[in-house]
Chains A and B, each alone.
Chain A
Amino acid sequence: MEVRRFEHGSRVPGWDREVDLSKDPSQVPDPATTPVPEDVRAEIEAHMAKYPDSRSATLPALAAVQRHHGWCSPEAIEQAACVMRLTPGYLTAVATFYDMFDTEPVGRHRVYVCTNISCSLRGADELYARVKELTDGDADFAVKRFECLGACDIAPMASVDGTYVGPLALSDVEELLDDVRNDRDPLPRKQLRYRPSAGATTPDDHTEGTA
């Protein structure tokens, strides 16, 4: 079986990136030399005020800077660290743990296709391949296969910039991507938010076959 290796010969990415070992680890950024956009600062500070320990605002703070910069760039992390009075290293360690933070630059539209069990039983792998194919070479899109998004009732489904759509047929993908490209609401007729509950009627109705 083929073992994938990186250029440096290891199976682990990134260890050979240039590191200046003579430099000290980065410290808490100095507010005087770290400009932070006013709205970002206000948002992070509002989050910090909500918790007994301001460090709890780490995730909302990273989400705020990611929204502003498009991804958790070193500059974005530096700004969050400056407002929260933490080291950039600490925030980077947190950002790399969570799937929704991007520590590499990505396209502006995030499309997460769920490929977990329930969705794959209903054709999620084909759906993912189709979305990949139709967005190939489009730098605006960041298409990711995602673990269970908690919407197995509309399998196979995708989260398009945070909006859940499904069940998606392969023939829907073109229209969906067209909506996203033109900044329209993605495929409203298949959005989860408009879907009635399966179990809205009492169980007795179902067993009597009236559903």
Chain B
Amino acid sequence: MSELLLFRDIDEPGLNTIDVYRRRGGYDDLRKALAMPREAVLNELLASGLRGRGGAGFAMGKKVSFLPKGAMDVYLCCNADESEPGTFKDREIMQKNPHMLIEGIIIAAYAAGANKAFIYIRGEYRLQADILDAAVAEAEAAGYLGDAILGSEHDLSLVVHRGAGAYICGEETALLDSLEGKRGNPRLKPPFPANQGLYQGPTLINNVETLATVPSIIRMGGDEYAKIGTETSTGTKLVSISGHVKRPGNYEIELGIPSREIIYGLAGGPPDGREVKLWFPGGSSAPVLTKDDLDLPYDFDTLAKAGSMLGSGAIIVVDDSTSVVDVAYKTAYFYRHESCGKCTPCREGTNWTVKMLERIKAGEATPMDLDIMASVCTNIIGNCLCVLGDAMAMPIGSMVAKFRDEFEAYIEERRAAAWATTEEPEPELAIIQGAVA
């Protein structure tokens, strides 16, 4: 890869202001897009092969083309509720280059025929939301937002909406409910948001990184963009890498490079003397991979074929100093906390998985509990309105499957330790032979 698209000069002072952004050619791509017919912009998006960067990896252009045509209010929601454990790439874009995101939103809204756009940003990102608010005000003052943008017939209003701390609101239909002022519960699909979304209108929902890529596609042309990366995973991707590595952080990579190059080359690998034990390739919802998988090319299809997923592009590395049981417990605990409680398999399944892991840690479990845990996982998958429960079941299932020996050894060790310290309890009630009530 010769140049960075999303992270080019990301640390340039003042890049978050409109003056610096424009001096670097910012909003030129918007001008170019508005001079094209809507269909032509859409065709560029389709040709680019850009896949959603939020987790599902659905083709962005296709999503836009699903929106019904006709005279009605179409909405665009930018999903900035970045809560997937391990993911922090959108934070960096919004904090350091908010205008790139805003420009992408305006172009995407033009292609989709949307006149009202919202950025749903998680409430914890206070600094980033303040920066976005300021950037939106600047863009409005400069005439990039509002009525008849740059003399075209395209109108767009953009509102920054702050969430209030709920992982589930990153799920697209829960996000819509939350944006409508309700508890963030997912909705039954279909109807999909493209047909009935926000306020029952057709709605396009895209991740921050996806939308921030749009100006680059317009500048380069869809076909040229598609030459980056692999055939089915085009373009560059921000990877958030964290956990046991020397240089955690966000890196922009070309899709398809070997995973080892990201973990060892960019992030420096685990601390000296340690080895990679397991890694989540796409946030904590992705089934874990082991050190044998380090040479897999990092792209959507290869990781799916390996039984995992690229997800949000968040790599969490765990080295051999950590017990897999602790990792499983942390993962399950998170999903139990964040389950919205609407669907029984998820609400109960996450709860019982945590309880079983607590039992394992307390030395009260037997290896049979692992089978029960696996069966709980298979009973969650596919049985809920959204994939939050699946997102716990898949990594836990993969950890039990790939590290069963370690789980069993852990159970035996804890059981032995618990037995060694337990004294025979005194019976609470004295048993009196032959007593008559």
Interface on A for B, CB 8 Å cutoff?
1, 50-53, 55-60, 62-63, 93-94, 97-101, 112, 115-118, 120-122, 146-153, 155, 159, 162-164, 192-193, 196-200, 202-204, 206-207, 211
Are A159 and B124 touching (Cβ within 8 A)? yes
- For B295-315 the 0/1 string (1 means CB < 8 A from A) is 000000000000000000010
Contacts A118-B316, A150-B122 given: A196-B181 contact, CB under 8 Å? Answer: no
Are B180 and A199 touching (Cβ within 8 A)? no
Asked whether any CB of chain A lies closer than 8 Å to the CB of B82, the reply is yes
Are B265 and A207 touching (Cβ within 8 A)? yes
Are A59 and B162 touching (Cβ within 8 A)? yes
Given the complex of chains A and B, what is the CA–CA distance between A146 and B340 in angstroms? Answer: 16
Contacts A56-B181, A164-B127, A196-B11 given: A118-B85 contact, CB under 8 Å? Answer: yes
Are B162 and A60 touching (Cβ within 8 A)? yes
Q: Which one of B32-40, B329-337, B375-383, B423-431 contacts A?
A: B329-337
**Considering only CB atoms, which chain A residue lies closest to B317 in the complex?**
A121
Tell me the minimal C-beta distance from B42 to chain A in angstroms: 25
Asked whether any CB of chain A lies closer than 8 Å to the CB of B232, the reply is no
Chain B residues within an 8 Å CB radius of A152: 85-88, 240, 242-243, 248, 314, 316
Are A56 and B163 touching (Cβ within 8 A)? no
Are B181 and A100 touching (Cβ within 8 A)? no
Are B249 and A98 touching (Cβ within 8 A)? no
Which of A98, A153, A193 is close to B250, meaning CB atoms less than 8 Å apart? A153
- For B245-283 the 0/1 string (1 means CB < 8 A from A) is 001111111100100010001110000000000001000
Given the complex of chains A and B, what is the CA–CA distance between A13 and B183 in angstroms? Answer: 20
Are B127 and A203 touching (Cβ within 8 A)? no
Given the complex of chains A and B, what is the CA–CA distance between A50 and B136 in angstroms? Answer: 13
Chain A residues within an 8 Å CB radius of B125: 150
Which of A1, A117, A193, A203 is close to B86, meaning CB atoms less than 8 Å apart? A117
**Considering only CB atoms, which chain B residue lies closest to A151 in the complex?**
B88
Contacts A100-B123, A117-B331, A155-B242 given: A148-B165 contact, CB under 8 Å? Answer: no
Which of A98, A112, A122, A206 is close to B164, meaning CB atoms less than 8 Å apart? A98
Given the complex of chains A and B, what is the CA–CA distance between A118 and B88 in angstroms? Answer: 11
Asked whether any CB of chain A lies closer than 8 Å to the CB of B95, the reply is yes
Chain A residues within an 8 Å CB radius of B252: 199, 203
Given the complex of chains A and B, what is the CA–CA distance between A51 and B116 in angstroms? Answer: 9
Asked whether any CB of chain A lies closer than 8 Å to the CB of B10, the reply is yes
Chain B residues within an 8 Å CB radius of A99: 164-166
**Considering only CB atoms, which chain A residue lies closest to B182 in the complex?**
A94
Given the complex of chains A and B, what is the CA–CA distance between A196 and B96 in angstroms? Answer: 10
Chain A residues within an 8 Å CB radius of B231: none
**Considering only CB atoms, which chain B residue lies closest to A206 in the complex?**
B266
Are A193 and B127 touching (Cβ within 8 A)? yes
4 closest A-B pairs by CB: A198-B249, A152-B242, A58-B181, A99-B165
Given the complex of chains A and B, what is the CA–CA distance between A100 and B164 in angstroms? Answer: 5
**Considering only CB atoms, which chain A residue lies closest to B249 in the complex?**
A198
Are B88 and A150 touching (Cβ within 8 A)? yes
Tell me the minimal C-beta distance from B325 to chain A in angstroms: 13
**Considering only CB atoms, which chain B residue lies closest to A198 in the complex?**
B249
Are A98 and B82 touching (Cβ within 8 A)? no
Within 8 A of A (CB), among B312-326: 314, 316, 318, 322, 326
Chain A residues within an 8 Å CB radius of B88: 150-153
Tell me the minimal C-beta distance from B410 to chain A in angstroms: 17
Query: Which of A97, A148, A193 has the most chain B CB atoms closer than 10 A to its own CB?
Result: A148
Given the complex of chains A and B, what is the CA–CA distance between A62 and B243 in angstroms? Answer: 35
Chain A residues within an 8 Å CB radius of B86: 117-118, 148, 152
Which of A62, A97, A150, A202 is close to B1, meaning CB atoms less than 8 Å apart? A202
Chain A residues within an 8 Å CB radius of B164: 59, 62-63, 98-101
Are B84 and A117 touching (Cβ within 8 A)? no
Asked whether any CB of chain A lies closer than 8 Å to the CB of B224, the reply is no
Which of B82, B91, B330, B338 is close to A120, meaning CB atoms less than 8 Å apart? B330
